Amino acid sequence: MAKRALAQIKQLDKGLTRQSKGGKLPRCGLCGGTTNLTKTECCDNWICDDEDQYVMFSFAHNSCYRNHRRYTLCGGHYVEDHLGSWKDCEACKELFETEMYVYYGTNEYNFEKLKNPPKYDPTRCETCNRIIRLGYDAYSYGSEGYTCDRCSKQKFGDAF
């Protein structure tokens, strides 16, 4: 059982799954789906062709294609038309704050994660000093810096 599961994981890592005798069927390298696939423009990996499922301004993360394009260094590197590899691109490092650079390079929307991401000090709320995880938490940003979700709601009410 464990051997079989490990073999299936290895196939998923390669973006392939067993088809009938001998053939290989492509799989989305992020979710494992096998229908409605396309190759990414940035790194030529199989991925769900599902960006049309995204509802504008919903901030949902339900599209494999959109998530890879918008929330990874690989996708951003391609969209910004940077030269070379995203893994050692100085322009990508300068484009984002270090915390977001690390998030974009190591999150679950990557086919390959950034090796040895740089260390950074956590971002803190200017009002209450609570840690804000920029890639995951709700916050606002203004001239005074970052404000956590709770302090933003206290300051702006339901408008936030």
- Measured CA to CA, the distance from residue 1 to residue 69 in angstroms comes to 36
Q: State the pLDDT at residue 14.
A: 53
CA 155 to each of CA 14, 70, 80, 147, 152: distance values in angstroms, whole numbers, following the listed order: 48, 30, 35, 10, 5
Helix-, strand-, coil-residue percentages of the chain, each rounded to 5:
40, 15, 50
- Annotated domain spans of the chain: 13-106, 123-159
Residues of the chain with pLDDT under 70: 1-23, 159-160
pLDDT of residue 59: 78
Beta-carbon count within 10 A of 78 CB: 17
Mean pLDDT, the chain, integer: 88
Backbone torsions φ then ψ of 132, nearest 5 degrees: -115, 125
Q: What is the pTM of this model?
A: 0.80
The per-residue pLDDT for 60 is 77
